[in-house]
């Protein structure tokens, strides 16, 4: 399992996403700002089918979370 955000800063967040079979994103509160890194920008790119990152993943589903936010599950295109 690969974390793109979390306690340790990574410099290759996009490359980690491209190497993943599935990506789960969430809107709203994602935790402390220092742990977010590029999460909002990468989430927006995944949702944009015109973006080079968005072209590589298909949206499998969008799910309403108990806190009112939205989670989206993407699968890498084969």
Give the SS3 label for residue 7.
coil
Domain count across the chain: 1
Residue 31 lies in a domain: yes
Look at residue 18 in the predicted model and tell me its pLDDT.
Answer: 84
Range of the domain at 22: 13-76
Alpha helices in the chain (DSSP H): 13-18, 39-47
- For 6-45, the pLDDT digits (tens) are 555 666 777 878 888 998 888 877 766 655 667 788 889 9
Give the SS3 label for residue 56.
helix
Rounded to whole angstroms, how far apart are CA atoms 42 and 59? 14
Look at residue 32 in the predicted model and tell me its pLDDT.
Answer: 63
Residue 24 lies in a domain: yes
Q: What mean pLDDT is predicted for residues 53-72?
A: 94
Distance of CA 50 to the CA centre of its chain: 16
Look at residue 21 in the predicted model and tell me its pLDDT.
Answer: 93
Look at residue 38 in the predicted model and tell me its pLDDT.
Answer: 73
């Amino acid at each position: 399992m690969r974390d793109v955000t979390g306690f340790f800063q990574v410099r290759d967040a996009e490359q980690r996403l491209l190497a993943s079979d599935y990506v789960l994103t969430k809107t709203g509160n994602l935790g402390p700002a220092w742990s977010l890194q590029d999460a909002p920008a990468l989430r927006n790119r995944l949702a944009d089918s015109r973006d080079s990152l968005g072209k590589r993943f298909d949206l499998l589903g969008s799910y309403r979370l108990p806190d009112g936010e939205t989670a989206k599950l993407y699968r890498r295109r084969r």
